[in-house]
Amino acid sequence: MEIAAAYILLMVLVMQYPLLESKIKKIQRRADRIEHKLDLILDHLGIEVVGPDLRRVAALLREGKKLEAIKVYRQLTDADLKEAKEAVERIDATRR
């Protein structure tokens, strides 16, 4: 009986996945619109947002320590692993 209940629960979760994915995409689109509006406001007011100091990341890349550079980038920006890896690879590509 417990196996049947677990199976039913699993099926309900699988069926709910498209709904959750749809809601997540909707929230992401809304967040993107809000971020765009905020960028326009900052631009209009002449406010420049200073990003994190990535000199340490560049220094680690010069030393050939790409994994350490990704780790430091994540600490500085709160990016997830994929975002950090892609950003560090872009930094590395422009450095060459």
Find out whether 58 and 91 touch, Cβ atoms under 8 Å: yes
In this predicted model, what pLDDT tens digit does every residue of 63-87 receive, in sequence order?
999 999 999 999 999 999 999 999 9
41 and 15 in a single domain? The answer is yes
4 and 33 in a single domain? The answer is yes
The whole-number pLDDT of residue 13 equals: 85
44 and 72 in a single domain? The answer is no
What is the number of domains present in the chain?
Answer: 2
Other C-beta atoms closer than 10 Å to the C-beta of 73 total: 23
41 and 59 in a single domain? The answer is no
The whole-number pLDDT of residue 49 equals: 84
As given in the structure block, the two tokens for residue 52 are: 């994190």
61 and 86 in a single domain? The answer is yes
36 and 70 in a single domain? The answer is no
Work out the end-to-end distance of the chain between its first and last CA atoms, rounded to an integer number of angstroms: 62
52-to-4, 16, 76 alpha-carbon distances in Å: 52, 39, 6
Q: Is 68 exposed, middle or buried (0-12, 13-18, 19+ CB in 10 A)?
A: middle
44 and 59 in a single domain? The answer is no
60 and 31 in a single domain? The answer is no
24 and 43 in a single domain? The answer is yes
The DSSP element (H or E) to which 69 belongs, if any, is: helix 66-77
pTM over 0.85: no
Q: What is the extent of the structural domain holding 79?
A: 55-95
In this predicted model, what pLDDT tens digit does every residue of 32-70 receive, in sequence order?
999 999 999 999 999 988 889 999 999 999 999 999 999
Residue 96 has pLDDT above 90, yes or no: no
Other C-beta atoms closer than 10 Å to the C-beta of 39 total: 11
